[in-house]
Amino acid sequence: MDNRISVFGTGLMGSAFVRALLRSGFEVTVWNRTPERCAPLVSEGAILAQSPVAAAQATDTLLFLVLDQDAVEELLSGIDVSGRRVINYVTGAPADGPRIAELVTKAGGQYLDAAIAAYPDDIGQEGALIYYAGSRSAWNQVQDVRAALSGLSPYVDENPGAANVMDAAWVACFHCVALGGFHEAMSFALGQGVSIETIAGGVDHFLGLLRDIMFEAVETIKSGDFSTDQATLDVYLAGTSTMLKAMVDSGERASLMAANVANLETASKAGHGPQSLFAQLLTMRA
């Protein structure tokens, strides 16, 4: 591909994309529903397109960073994607990718679905991660674009929904749930008079413990052997139930704690109590 690229949508994330691409020497055409929002980017070297059609005609590689999947589909219905690469960076559900992929490929274009697991500030950095799924050929062709945006840009699967699956699993589920758990923990400890400094002193230690047990979980799932000679699922259930009661008694809502105890109860009732904590995986489907 040549070094010309079009970016649809210049919000926080779109603007971070445009700046990273300009820094890497791309000629970047930008379009935004509110054109005034593009002014700072234009002053930094971006080219303003007067319409979506003009933005699409300017280049062969179209990046979408608009509000939602409806906005992506509306834009795609009005432009010619034949012979072009469409990369959809908008957070969506796993079912969105396959639907939009069909639309693009029927019109003669190539489709890549992407899921950004990074903050706008991290775009262009070594440590930033963006998952890609869909056309492997398009993924290969845009290697320079990927490299300009994030140090990590793995290809997950041909299923265009797979990037959003990884995003849902890691960002929406693990990251947000773990951060929520930290907030429930802080709310309780602060309410009991522990200082924020004393709490902060535990962050690295407990992230180390968490890393160990996450890799232990992975190995256990690979082996399929959920037996244990360490604390059993029932021991964790008893301990977390006691602590849940203490938190609720002291005025905390403790919603995540309650949901976790409920998950362990479900696993215990299904007979996994004497097994390892990782056996909770076996009863997580409705």
User: What is the footprint of its own copies within residues 182-221 (CB under 8 A)?
Assistant: 182-194, 196, 198-211, 213-215, 217-218, 221
Reported as type and span, the H/E element at residue 191 is helix 176-191
Q: How many Å apart are CA 271 and CA 268, to the nearest integer?
A: 5
**Owner of token pair 């962050």:** 203
Is residue 156 involved in binding its own copies (CB under 8 A)? yes
Tell me the window of 22-30, 52-60, 99-107, 116-124 that interacts with its own copies (CB under 8 A). Answer: 116-124
Tell me which of 39, 147, 173, 270 binds its own copies, using CB under 8 A: 173
> Does residue 127 bind its own copies (CB under 8 A)?
yes
- Report, in Å, the least distance between residue 52 CB and its own copies: 24
Residues binding its own copies: number (CB under 8 A): 108
Binding of residue 35 to its own copies (CB under 8 A): no
According to DSSP, residue 87 is labeled: E
Report which of 83, 59, 60, 86 is spatially closest to residue 75, judged by C-alpha positions: 86
- Determine the Cα–Cα distance for residues 124 and 19; give it in Å rounded to an integer: 9
Which residue, 73, 66, 79, 65, is CA-closest to 20? 65
Q: How far apart are CB 35 and its own copies at their closest, in Å?
A: 22
Burial zone of 99 (CB within 10 Å; 0-12 exposed, 13-18 middle, 19+ buried): middle
The CA dihedral of 204, 205, 207, 208, to the nearest 10 degrees, is: 110
Q: Name residues contacting its own copies, limited to 264-283 (CB under 8 A).
A: 266, 277-278, 280-281
Q: How far is the CB of 82 from its own copies (least distance, A)?
A: 30
Q: Is 60 an interacting residue with respect to its own copies (CB under 8 A)?
A: no
What residue type is assigned to position 259 of the chain? A
Q: Is there binding between residue 20 and its own copies (CB under 8 A)?
A: no
Q: Which of residues 78-97 bind its own copies (CB under 8 A)?
A: 91-95
Contact 60, 85 (CB under 8 A): yes
- The secondary element (H helix, E strand) that includes residue 64 is strand 61-64
SS3 of 190, please?
helix
Write down the least CB distance from residue 226 to its own copies, Å: 12
Query: Smallest gap, in angstroms, from Cβ of residue 57 to its own copies?
Result: 32
In the bound state with its own copies, the residue whose beta carbon lies nearer, of 137 and 255, is 255
Nearest CB to its own copies, comparing residues 102 and 121: 121
Binding segment for its own copies among 22-30, 104-112, 134-142, 247-255 (CB under 8 A)? Answer: 247-255
Residue 150 binds its own copies, judged by CB under 8 A: no
Other CB atoms within 10 Å distance of the CB of residue 148: 20
